[in-house]
Amino acid sequence: MFYVPLVFIVLLITGTAFAYLMGAVSIVTFIATDKAQFLSVLPQRIFAQLDVFAFMAMPMFILTAEIMSRAGATRSLIDFAMSLVGRFKGGLGHVNILTSVFFAGISGSAVADSAALSRTFVPEMTARGYTPYYAGAITAASSMIGPIIPPSIIMIIYGGLTGTSVAALFIAGVVPGLLLAASLMALNAGIAVAQDHPGGKSETLPRFLPSLINAAPALCLPVIILGSLVFGLATPTEGSAIAVLFALMAGQFYKGLDWRMIFDAVEATAKMTGTIFIILAAISVLGYLAGQLGWSQALAGWVDSFGLTGTKYLFFLMAVFLVAGMFMDTPVALTLLIPLFAPQALEQGISPIHLGIVLCFNLCVGLITPPLGKCLVVVAALTNLNYWRLAYTALPFIAVQVLVLLALVYWPSLSLALPRLFGFSVN
Amino acid sequence: MRKMIIDLSDGLHKAVRHIAVLAVCLMFFTVMIQIVARYVFSAPPVWTEDVARYAMVWTGLLGATLSFKTRADAVLMESVFPPRPHLLGHLAEAIQSAAVLTFVLPVVYFCFMGLKGGFAKGYLARQSGLTADTLGIPMVWISVSVPLSMIIILLHLAARWAGDSPRGAPPSQLD
Amino acid sequence: EVKIALDGKPDMEQSGSYNWAFAFGNALKAGGMETREMPAGSVGNEAEKFDQVSTGLLEVSLSDVRSIAQVDPFIYGVRLPYIFDDAAHMDRAVAAGNVFERLNNSLAAQDVRVAALVPIGPSSGIITTTQAVRNPADMSSLRMRALDDAQIAMYQAWGSSGTIVPWGEVPAGLQTGVIDGYLNSPFVPVMFGQTDFVRHFSDAGVIIPMRAVLMSKAWYDGLTDAERATVDAAVVAADAANREWLAKASESGLTALEEKSVTVQRLTAEERAVFREASKAVYESDLMPSADVKIWTDLSDANR
Ligand code: NA
Ligand code: NA
């Protein structure tokens, strides 16, 4: 048994891909605990844990975002955000955040948001007198809105792993996403005054109506997705297929799509799905091991012994997930920790939807916290900024995000009121 | 020999790219059929959900080979060792490969062999006795995606050692 | 160690299958065998449980009857609407028709045997949000949640309509009006906290919701004669415990609903007969060959 941690560390420092690391460590553990005969269930286990209804929405929402960004919808969203909030002090900061809100409606990924927007916003904001680090920090921080406002890849993963309604999770993410955006804008407004950022009536702004018309297809997408879920017209999977269809039409409206672009978008989708599926496959092996060795029950007993219940347990989980998010990719942390920690939370009567929102939000905070803040990494790489200085500049934004997270933990109805309103059962 | 392995790996990669694209399209079209059937003919056929789900499993497992071939898999931590051709780089690669083999080989082995009863009691043999619920076809046509993708990954791994180094692919953006 | 894979929460109050598993485990322990309850989900989903029983890694599993159907669809007979009046009727018919023997012949190729059919709760009734139902005509304007094509056909035969909705979407569907009701055991609306919007329960007794107890054939055949006798006796004891619980639950399930102010329509035998007659039209489907349907209806009639 002693050599299992050793294997883990060796595989870790040699940069082994997470899926193969986890798969190998699990298999070594099976052998170390004299349960090698259980390895014969592996093929069935892997297949069964991938063959999950809820996961179907994932490839299609990835495809939607791939098509929309290839078609050049992003620029129209920036222009529209500009026409709305560009006039205020610190205007481009607000535009940056608002663009992320709009972008969130076509993409389920924060890193995609950072990648798509940093090369536009950082030079533009720098040209108008913001420091490049402030521009980079606000771009990275606001990208976190992406996976909170639907669609969201990580919420689909959470839904699939815990058997929670993805539709309800999507609807529950709307208020937290908007709350996050509003909080970031408030911070931006404060800093704009304190540091005398540019902005005001002098700015030349795109005219409202033309920019609205141009942005309309991209803005309609989340409305269609959410509308079909809210009124029970479609399951998330069906909604995701409609989103793909709509993205194909919107793509014609923008730059126009050719077969090459569509093929590339579909191929990228298959590859991204594969990246997450091989992780899910490896985690399914770990999950089986945990079931055989009774880890979940042991962990439950351990948690019980500390008397952590209800909101206290949730705060404990927040600490675990916050640290995990600092070191791991969001889907990796999610797939690894959910099977271990979620059952106790649900056992204690915490709403699976509330839990999903706070855990996903929590892990996303890790996207802009060092040492491994993936959005910071992307922004730093694309704009040639120093990673650590960028992380330092992002500190106030991280603080605001943690405050919003605490509010979400403390007031479940921030997440649950909307799904309740539309008739979803939240417990 | 080296060239043969790399060519085989490249050829398979190209074929899998196309099959995976077809699987995504199949998934998209079946879900569209489901929507149309539900709202236009108000008669949702049951098979659409299963076909779409199985297409998703094929997509994901074939996608895993694409991800492996192009080195797009997520890592927890970059290697602390210098890259190849440094000796430590070779060592790190060898350890990574050992991890891949440790995970993949038992899966492949137990697809074909059972705990008792050898080949006749392997996963695929067990699955061939079962019928997919709504499609009426043997489950084995769907579950064969597991060993197939794992074997392709092993081939890509062999190609890596034969000197295959695909262009650095952009990392996947899932979070 | 005999591992028993559970299918739900270990709840003596509301779960018929746990009553079975508990009694079974106790009888084995009394006979000197070690047992271990595997919590639902800890060894995987239905397909995984079946596969592990098949490989002998799991000794006993409370499984979906569909697990058997993927090998031999004959088992779907127990899910024909109104095929049995109650569990006792089912037990008589299953015994008279040597159903276990027939199923075990087909399951042998998978190294699986079925040891028992276990009702998990009182017979399914009609659960609705707006309309109280006493006869098929009351359902003419309702759209019901269906599990599969066969259920859609049944609703149509009743003069109603059905649409397939996954279980996770049922609460939302009921509240948004996508569906007006569904079919299930009386405990279900209470257990899943749906009594805020579920208004009516009609005790129509459509089908007996149940699990199949699967055993690893390799394990069972490898037991000593004494051990096998212990296991067989434990099955008998567990069946008895389950039927005893079921008798109590049939009434307590209804009163539990009434406590949550869901109105309960207690149908008379004549009123149920109307549903039964209407249902016969759908016995023929592509789920099962007609010859098998005939075997089941004959068994049912001969043992009523
Ligand atoms: Na989003
Ligand atoms: Na932004």
Q: Hey, are the CB atoms on A24 and B99 less than 8 Å from each other?
A: yes
- Residue C98 confidence (pLDDT) above 90: yes
Chains sharing 3 or more CB pairs under 8 A with chain A: B, C
Give mean pLDDT, residues A9-19: 91
Minimal-distance CA residue of chain B relative to A21 = B99
DSSP-derived pairing of the beta strands C125-128 and C200-202: antiparallel
Q: Which domain holds residue B137?
A: 2-161
Looking at residue B167, the DSSP 8-state letter turns out to be P
Rounded to the nearest whole angstrom, what is the distance from the C-alpha of residue A327 to the centroid of ligand 2? 23
A38 close to C58: Cβ distance less than 8 angstroms: no
Does residue B170 belong to any structural domain of this protein? Answer: no
Can you give the pLDDT at residue A203?
62
**DSSP state string for chain C:** -EEEE-SS---TTT-HHHHHHHHHHHHHHHTT--EEEEPTBTTBSHHHHHHHHHHTS-SEEEEEHHHHHTT-GGGGGGGSTTS-SSHHHHHHHHHHTTHHHHHHHHHGGGTEEEEEEEE-SSPPEEEESS---SSGGGGTT-EEEESSHHHHHHHHHTT-EEEE--GGGHHHHHHHTS-SEEEE-THHHHHTT-TTT--EEE-------EEEEEEEHHHHHHS-HHHHHHHHHHHHHHHHHHHHHHHHHHHHHHHHHHHTT-EEE---HHHHHHHHHHHGGGS-BTTB-HHHHHHHHHHHHHT-
Distances (CA, A) of B74 to A233, B107, B172: 36, 21, 8
Average pLDDT over residues C206-211: 93
Looking at residue B172, the DSSP 8-state letter turns out to be: P
Band (pLDDT 50/70/90 cuts) for residue B111 is very high
Q: Does B167 map to a domain? A: no
- Return the pLDDT at C165: 79
**Statement: residue C289 has pLDDT above 70:** yes
Average pLDDT over residues A346-361: 91
Longest dimension (CA), chain C: 59
Q: Within a domain: residue B166?
A: no
Distance from the alpha carbon of residue A145 to the mean position of ligand 1, in angstroms? 7
Identify from C70, C76, C148, C152 which residue to disrupt to test chain B contact, counting B C-beta atoms within 10 A and taking the largest count: C70
Q: How confident is the model at residue A296 (pLDDT cuts 50, 70, 90)?
A: confident
pLDDT at A134 over 90: yes
Give mean pLDDT, residues C247-254.
90
Q: Which C positions 46-105 lie with beta carbon below 8 A of chain B?
A: 51, 54-57, 66, 70-71
Which pLDDT does position B171 carry in this prediction?
53
Residue A201 pLDDT: 59
Least confident of A106-110, A280-284, C192-196: C192-196
pLDDT above 80 for A2: no
> How many Å apart are CA A125 and CA A134, to the nearest integer?
9
**Cα–Cα distance for residue pair B11/A41, rounded to 1 Å:** 31
**Cα A221 to Cα A250: distance, rounded to the nearest angstrom:** 9
Span A69-122, pLDDT tens digits: 888 888 888 889 888 888 888 888 999 999 999 999 988 889 888 988 888 899
CA dist., res. C60 & res. C114, Å (int): 10
Q: Is residue B6 part of a domain?
A: yes
Gyration radius of chain A over CA positions: 22
Domain count, chain B: 1
Confidence of residue C227 (pLDDT cuts 50, 70, 90): very high
Is residue B175 in some structural domain?
Answer: no
Q: How confident is the model at residue B143 (pLDDT cuts 50, 70, 90)?
A: very high
φ, ψ of residue C300 in degrees (nearest 5): -60, -50
- Calculate the average pLDDT of chain C: 92
pLDDT at B126 over 60: yes
The residue of chain A nearest to residue B55, with distances taken between CA atoms, is A56
Contact B34, B45 (CB under 8 A): yes
Residues B73-105 pLDDT 10s: 888 778 888 887 788 989 999 999 999 999 999
Sign of the alpha-carbon dihedral angle for A154, A157, A163, A168 = positive
Cross-chain Cβ contact C70/B139 below 8 Å: yes
Calculate mean pLDDT across residues A182-191.
95
Report yes or no on B93 lying in a domain.
yes
SS3 B138: strand
Q: Read off the tokens for A159.
A: 């839904």
Question: Which of chain B's residues have a Cβ under 8 Å away from the Cβ of A272?
Answer: 63, 67, 172-174
pLDDT at position C42 is: 83
Please give, rounded to a whole number of angstroms, the shortest distance from the CA of B48 to a CA of chain A.
Answer: 11
Contact B153, B97 (CB under 8 A): no
Q: Kindly state whether residue B174 falls inside one of the protein's structural domains.
A: no
Chain B residues in contact with A46 by the CB 8 A cut-off are 107, 146
CB count within 10 Å of CB B164 equals 18
- pLDDT the model gives residue A137: 95
Nearest CB among A44, A49, A51 relative to C51 is that of A44
- The mean pLDDT of C203-215, rounded to a whole number, is 94
A339 confidence band (pLDDT: 50, 70, 90): confident
Share of chain A above pLDDT 90, in %: 44
What's the pLDDT score for residue B11?
Answer: 95
Residue in C closest to B137 by C-alpha? C70
User: Mutating which of B121, B135, B137, B142 best tests the C interface, going by the most C Cβ atoms within 10 A?
Assistant: B121
Mean predicted confidence (pLDDT) in A55-68: 91
Task: Kindly provide the ipTM of the predicted complex, given to two decimals.
Answer: 0.84
